[in-house]
Each structure stands twice: as structure tokens, then as C-alpha cells.
Homo-oligomer: A and B are copies of this chain.
């Protein structure tokens, strides 16, 4: 047993470290995107990589997202392991055709001959006061596309571990980075980062008996806060952090809901057709006789992302979560 020097680190630092370690270990790992080189990215997530590994390993590309992802496809075809940064959620949309028609399908359409180990990092979600097109929660599009993994960390440790696992994956991974957690801090030792978990395992972040909150990414801290607040109301809430939307850890979710008998899914993305719908659909199928109440959702409204001055009303907050928990038919 060694003592490690835990220091407060931000999620941004952990992500940077994950790329750095991956690049140091594997010369085929290449980082590319808009402003990722000299500037280190608009969020500074790639800070220092160009300096350490050269511009050829951490490349400022021309400003064209389809071109970036398309070029990454070609690089992966040749055996490289590109890590692509999309500058903001909504700026990944120009690359949609490359993503759906090639990235997601290439392994399948070549019968396994040509897997594409591409990690696509997408800073996503709101709560940072960004102007329009800078706060979309676009995960529904990715989740509905077979062939993609969809991963999203909610903690500093997971940011490192899941990004390492994503880069190591032989499949394309949409790696969703919750923007507003970039500067969240935790005790974490960058010199001895935690073991890399595989992709696809959810974690119970808080055990409880009354009901299960199922969430991921930016909504995890909100759910944990809600669970604390719920104690006052007499509810002991369990909180499950999905960590990956695809693969979806059905076992973990079902096990928790069977225990508690009630569930609320929480995410920032619009509710209608959002990832929460799938989770609800599976829970009601697999836990039908265990449910004391319908599975409810707390999500962003079904509206385009609002302007900064109104976003607090749109985002799932503690009160709205508690109001929803209150609707879980406790009287029965």
C-alpha cells in the first residue's frame, strides 16, 4: 500500500492528463481539432499537448468539422487512433453525415475488417451562460445511432478513467464532456491516476431505499444534492450514475429500481425523444412488477436551449427533482 499525494484537481486537468498519458503510451494517438494546438483548446483541455508531442500529434485543423471527422476516419483507416475535439456541442452537427454514415457503420459495413478507434470529444450541456448554439445536450442523436459508444463522466476520476478507456476502445466513442463540470474539483492524484474502468458500467453513487435517481454527466451533482435535501422529506434516495449511455448498464439500473420500487430519470437534454425515454422504457419492461409508481423524468423542457438569463428555469434543479419524487405515489 502506497500513500498517494491527493491534490485538488479539476475535471479539465484530468481530461488533459488522460490525453497526455495516452499519447505518451501509444504513438498512434493523435489529437486534432479547432484551436487544440497552440491555444490548447478554448477550454484548455488540450493545453500543452502540442508543445510536448509536437503539432503533428496535436493538430490545429482548418475550421471544418466534417473535414476534421472525415480526415480522422482516414487516419484511423491507416491505423492511427485519432482523438477529435468538437469545440462545442452544436458545432459537431456539421460532421453528422460523416458520423452516422461512416464512423458508426464502418466496422459493420466492412464486416469487422476496418474498425475505427476514434474518440470524439464533445463539450456539452448548459449552465455556463453560453450564447445560443453553445449549450446543446445532443446525446439523443448519438444514443439513437448503433455503432457508437456514448460515454460521459461526472467526476474528476471518471473524466480520466473513462477518457483513457474511450481512447483505448477499438470502437468509435462519443465522449461527452459536461462543460459546467470542467472546473469542478476533487482530490485526485495526477501522478497515480486511478485504474481505468471499462466502458459500460454504471455506478451507484449513493445508496438509498426510497427511490432511485438515474442520471449522468452534468446532472449527477444536482441529483446528489437533491438526495441530500430529500432526507429532510424522509426519502432515502439512491443515485445511479450511468457513465455510459451506450452500452447501457441495464443490470445496474434494473437492480436498483427493483430494490427501491420507484425511479426518476434526470437529464438536461430535452425530454421528448431524449435518452431518458429509453431508460424509462426499459425499466418499466424489466421492473414491471416491482414498480410502485410510474417512472418519471426530470429533463430540460422541449424547447430550443434558452438564453443564459433564462437557463436556470430550463435546467433540472433540486426543487424540480424533489417535486417529481413527491409525485411517485407515496400514498399507495
A residues whose Cβ falls under 8 Å from a Cβ of B = 66, 90, 93-94, 96-97, 100-101, 104-105, 108-109, 132-133, 136, 140-141, 143-147, 246, 248, 269-270, 272-278, 280-281, 284-286, 288, 291, 293-297, 302-304
For this chain, the copies found in one complex come to 2
A136 CA to B105 CA in the complex, in Å? 12
Known: A296-B285, A304-B147. Is A100-B105 also a contact (CB below 8 A)?
Answer: no
Q: Which of B108, B291, B295 contacts A303 (CB 8 A)?
A: B108
For A133, the chain B residues whose CB sits under 8 A away are 101
Closest to A306 in B: B108
A286 CA to B246 CA in the complex, in Å? 27
A246 CA to B143 CA in the complex, in Å? 19
Instruction: Give me the 9 closest cross-chain CB pairs, A-B, nearest first.
Output: A96-B96, A144-B273, A140-B144, A93-B97, A280-B281, A277-B277, A143-B273, A277-B278, A288-B294
A150 → chain B, closest Cβ, in Å? 9
Q: What are 25 A-B contacts with C-beta separation under 8 Å?
A: A90-B97, A93-B96, A94-B97, A96-B96, A101-B133, A105-B304, A108-B304, A109-B132, A109-B304, A140-B144, A140-B273, A143-B273, A144-B144, A144-B272, A146-B272, A272-B278, A273-B275, A273-B277, A277-B277, A277-B278, A277-B281, A280-B284, A284-B284, A285-B295, A285-B296
For A295, the chain B residues whose CB sits under 8 A away are 281, 284-285
Closest to A106 in B: B304
For A104, the chain B residues whose CB sits under 8 A away are 304
Q: Which of B146, B248, B284 contacts A270 (CB 8 A)?
A: B146
A320 → chain B, closest Cβ, in Å? 16
A92 → chain B, closest Cβ, in Å? 9
A123 CA to B43 CA in the complex, in Å? 40
Closest to A302 in B: B146
A264 → chain B, closest Cβ, in Å? 11
A273 CA to B97 CA in the complex, in Å? 19
Residue of A105, A281, A303 with highest tally of chain B CB at under 10 A: A281
A136 → chain B, closest Cβ, in Å? 8
A261 → chain B, closest Cβ, in Å? 13
A101 CA to B296 CA in the complex, in Å? 29
Known: A97-B93, A140-B273. Is A294-B304 also a contact (CB below 8 A)?
Answer: no
A288 CA to B270 CA in the complex, in Å? 23
Residue of A105, A144, A273 with highest tally of chain B CB at under 10 A: A273
Closest to A288 in B: B294
Instruction: List 20 other contacts, CB 8 Å, given A248-B272, A281-B295.
Output: A93-B101, A94-B97, A105-B132, A108-B304, A109-B132, A109-B304, A140-B273, A144-B270, A144-B272, A145-B273, A146-B270, A146-B302, A146-B303, A272-B278, A276-B281, A277-B277, A277-B278, A277-B280, A277-B281, A281-B284
